[in-house]
A = this chain, B = another copy of it.
């Protein structure tokens, strides 16, 4: 953070596209895998195994984030995190991110500085750089849109898709479940604390390293839990043509969620089973003794085509659907 940011009080319209790009790219340090960083027509990133994993997610102000609920820095971190989680869910290690930003002309330049700081903070946490991007005005549109594309490398392994789960496999997860949903519920009631769950909504903490770790351990299928555990397991069940049962006795609901749910009169188990935006990883493994450290066994894969909880269909809304 600068004590006295240059361009204080300026808007993105004052700075112009090139002034802004200079501002957010200069003095950033790229890792070795960034063979050519921002400033040219395109970036060049190492793809050591001759393939590149690539994913895009779009975050829209008012839909995926609110600038009165999250700081621009948190929005930047989240935009990168949700994308890198997709890369990790293939069993790949991140190699870079590109950022497309559309914002209203009146946006303060300081907001972009903070957003860029967040993008870089999360990219750095994953060991990569912001290798390129685009910034543009939304014209008369007053909603900020952040589009991130993430790149990754499979290190010679096959990608772990959603389609490889087999009857007899064990279901396990790594990362938080229900925290972001609890935070969203808190924010929705007008509160700003407890900060643990609120920050979980603001900035997910996907377990990036757990993706390649699961791949090495022989995971047969894997998915990033973005829409909610049951909704995302349904994608695995559909792609793999299997049934998946989640056993709630295997899921320990964190005390923090129990406390928040009591205060709000909510069901913490519902958050854990259906809450999105935590970006945990869920994977299926053939060997119950081969579940990697840090992963928690929570269910089983059988023949059929359904996702059940303790052997029964789960009652209640199953996840987040855009537009609905």
Contact = CB atoms under 8 A, between A and B. Distances in A.
Q: Which of A35, A52, A64, A145 has the most CB of B within 10 A?
A: A52
B136 A63 contact: yes
B138 A63 contact: yes
Interface residues of A, number: 79
Interface stretch (A1-9, A12-20, A284-292, A294-302): A12-20
| Number of identical protomers | 2
Contacts of A54: 42-45, 54, 96, 98, 131-132, 149, 151
Given A89-B41, A99-B56, A323-B12, A51 B63 contact: no
A248 B57 CA distance: 44
Given A16-B324, A50-B48, A51-B46, A132 B90 contact: no
B100 A136 contact: no
A105 interface: yes
Most chain B CB within 10 A, of A87, A100, A134, A323, is at A323
Interface in A24-60: 35-36, 39-60
B154 A224 contact: no
Nearest to A33: B51
Contact of A138 (B39, B131, B143): B143
A147 interface: yes
A86 B42 CA distance: 6
A322 to B, nearest CB: 4
Contact of A56 (B60, B100, B139): B100
A51 B95 CA distance: 11
A60 B159 contact: no
Contacts of A308: none
A210 B260 CA distance: 60
A77 interface: no
A58 B90 contact: no
Nearest to A323: B13
A137 B143 CA distance: 12
8 contacts: A15-B323, A40-B162, A44-B154, A100-B147, A102-B145, A102-B147, A140-B143, A145-B147
| 4 nearest CB pairs, A to B | A141-B143, A47-B47, A42-B55, A147-B147
